[in-house]
A = this chain, B = another copy of it.
Amino acid sequence: MAHIPSMTDTSFNAVMNLLRARDVIEERIAGELASVHGLMLKEAMLLMHLEGAPLGRLTRVELAKRLHSSASTVTRMATPMEKLGLVSRQSDDRDARLAFVVLTKAGQIKITEARATLAKQADDLFQDRWQEGEIEALSGLLARLVAGAPGRLA
């Protein structure tokens, strides 16, 4: 029933483990982020991208690229976040097509709090029998794997 092993198994297994790891970690993180801060994971990601951007703002298409989602999704994400006061809308004088999503003070506070929760969750993940160097190695290998692709934070 099992397939025949081959040279490509190492890469294949690495990819499978990566897919699974994301599922497991996202399950673990998303619940607490929602209950504690009322944020979906990707909403937190949106805020973090704004946080690191010049003037704390990005266009919707740029956010879509970084979040690996469509422009329509970003539009629909931003609307309720505006109503909550986490972001605001700002148009550009030079180009009337642009509608920046801008991080507000309330959004800054919210993402700072949410990041603390995320950092704590991340620490918990590596709490048992992980050494600092191992975590750095994992992080570095992952970063290298997706080097050049859009969406990097920090």
Count of interface residues, chain A, beta-carbon cutoff 8 Å: 59
Q: A137-B141, A141-B138 are in contact. Are A68 and B23 (CB under 8 A)?
A: yes
Q: A8-B119, A119-B11 are in contact. Are A68 and B135 (CB under 8 A)?
A: no
Q: How far is the CA of A115 from the CA of B24 in the complex (A)?
A: 22
Residues of B within 8 A of A52 (CB): 1-2
Inter-chain contact B20/A151, CB cutoff 8 Å: yes
Inter-chain contact A11/B146, CB cutoff 8 Å: no
Closest to A132 in B: B10
Tell me if A142 counts as interface (CB < 8 A to partner B). yes
B-facing residues in A107-146 (Cβ within 8 Å): 112, 115, 118-123, 125-126, 132, 134-139, 141-143, 145-146
Q: Digit string of A1-13 for contact with B (CB within 8 Å is 1, else 0)?
A: 1110010111111
Q: How far is the CA of A137 from the CA of B41 in the complex (A)?
A: 28
Inter-chain contact B152/A20, CB cutoff 8 Å: yes
A21 to chain B: closest CB distance in Å? 5
Closest to A122 in B: B11
Q: How far is the CA of A17 from the CA of B25 in the complex (A)?
A: 12
- Among A2, A119, A151, the one with the most B-chain Cβ atoms within 10 Å of its Cβ is A119
Instruction: Name 13 interchain pairs, CB-CB below 8 A, sorted by A.
Output: A3-B112, A8-B123, A11-B122, A12-B119, A14-B135, A14-B136, A14-B138, A15-B29, A18-B142, A20-B142, A20-B149, A21-B145, A141-B141
Which 7 pairs of residues, A with B, have the shortest CB-CB distance?
Answer: A22-B22, A11-B122, A14-B139, A17-B142, A8-B119, A23-B68, A138-B141
